[in-house]
Amino acid sequence: MARIIVVTSGKGGVGKTTTSAAVATGLAMAGHKTAVIDFDVGLRNLDLIMGCERRVVYDFVNVISGEANLNQALIKDKRVDNLCILPASQTRDKDALTQEGVERVLEELSQDFEYIICDSPAGIERGAMLAAYFADEAIVVANPEVSSVRDSDRVLGILASKTRRAERGDEPVRERLLLARYSPQRVERGEMLSVEDVQEILAVELLGVIPESKAVLQASNAGVPVIMEDSTDAGQAYQDAVARFLGEERPHRFLVEKKGFLGRLFGS
């Protein structure tokens, strides 16, 4: 039985899709069969970040409505074995997603995959609710900024009450926080919330801190998951996060301003 992981945040533009792509790629590189699903029906993005936008024939909604089967819609990643992408539909709206349909697709994927990553749309409407509903684990992406933290708090409340696990009274969804676009310099100047501030408000386990980095935008534009960029700080931070996700203990890096030797080693 696969583990279903939702990547969610409430607020838009904080790095959900970047994180979904990085975590899915990281899990696959670690040898786990992984599928990543874009739940943002109508605003297809994941395929761009994954660099497979020209290979999309059928999508998630086609599978739900029975116009295609899962094997026709799944796109196998060319760089990493064990990784498949199920893109969202660009032409439909979110009402095309049904709970029964999503459940059926997830069940079918569970036969073949170890991990299923659900890339949630922003907000707390239907698409986001369905992406979270069947989750076993959640990665809540936040930026060190008050409105993002507030929205993440709201989403954590939903994960604790509106998911299948909550409704059945099973063990709760395992929630972990990924703090993205972190800039130690700006924290030092008091322009940004610190990791400690965010953790104190959200009171949830920290999966990783991703530094603000030009590498993220460059990788997105090139259609390469940033985790594959070994030489960049953001890539390494995602590698650490995936290792922690798989149970490895790693110290948090990139929490203080890079200086001297380290600065040269990691670049900027």
Binding flag, residue 246, another protein (CB under 8 A): no
Is 88 within 8 Å of 43 (Cβ atoms)? yes
Binding flag, residue 174, another protein (CB under 8 A): no
Output the smallest distance, CB 254 to another protein, in A: 27
Antiparallel, parallel or unpaired: β 83-86 and 75-76: antiparallel
Binding flag, residue 161, another protein (CB under 8 A): yes
Binding flag, residue 153, another protein (CB under 8 A): yes
Output the smallest distance, CB 163 to another protein, in A: 10
Q: Answer yes or no: is 16 a known binding residue.
A: yes
- For 35, phi then psi, to 5°, come to -120, 140
Residue from 76, 154, 250, 264 touching another protein (CB under 8 A): that is 154
Closer to another protein by Cβ: residue 167 or 191: 167
Closer to another protein by Cβ: residue 103 or 153: 153
Nearest to 39 by CA among 82, 100, 87, 103: 87
Binding flag, residue 157, another protein (CB under 8 A): yes
Q: Answer yes or no: is 13 a known binding residue.
A: yes
Question: Which three-class secondary structure string do you get for the chain?
Answer: CCEEEEEECCCCCCCHHHHHHHHHHHHHHCCCCEEEEECCCCCCCHHHHCCCHHHCCCCHHHHHCCCCCHHHHCEECCCCCCEEEECCCCCCCHHHCCHHHHHHHHHHHHHHCCEEEEECCCCCCHHHHHHHHCCCEEEEEECCCHHHHHHHHHHHHHHCCCCHHHHHCCCCCEEEEEEEEECHHHHHCCCCCCHHHHHHHHCCEEEEEEECCHHHHHHHHHCCCHHHCCCCHHHHHHHHHHHHHCCCCCCCCCCCCCCHHHHHHHCC
Output the smallest distance, CB 255 to another protein, in A: 23
Q: Answer yes or no: is 11 a known binding residue.
A: yes
Residue from 162, 214, 250, 264 touching another protein (CB under 8 A): that is 162
Nearest to 210 by CA among 255, 247, 175: 255
Binding flag, residue 206, another protein (CB under 8 A): no
Binding flag, residue 99, another protein (CB under 8 A): no
Binding flag, residue 166, another protein (CB under 8 A): yes
Q: Answer yes or no: is 78 a known binding residue.
A: no
Output the smallest distance, CB 158 to another protein, in A: 8
Binding flag, residue 139, another protein (CB under 8 A): no
Q: Answer yes or no: is 17 a known binding residue.
A: yes
Which one of the spans 42-50, 76-84, 197-205, 221-229 is the region binding another protein (CB under 8 A)? 197-205
Binding flag, residue 145, another protein (CB under 8 A): no
Binding flag, residue 160, another protein (CB under 8 A): yes
Cα–Cα distance measured from residue 165 to residue 159, given in angstroms and rounded to the nearest whole number: 9
Q: Answer yes or no: is 162 a known binding residue.
A: no
Q: Answer yes or no: is 101 a known binding residue.
A: no
- Residues near another protein (CB under 8 A) are 150-151, 153-154, 156-158, 160-162, 166, 169, 200-201, 203
Q: Binding site membership: which residues?
A: 11-18
Annotated binding-site ranges for ATP: 11-18
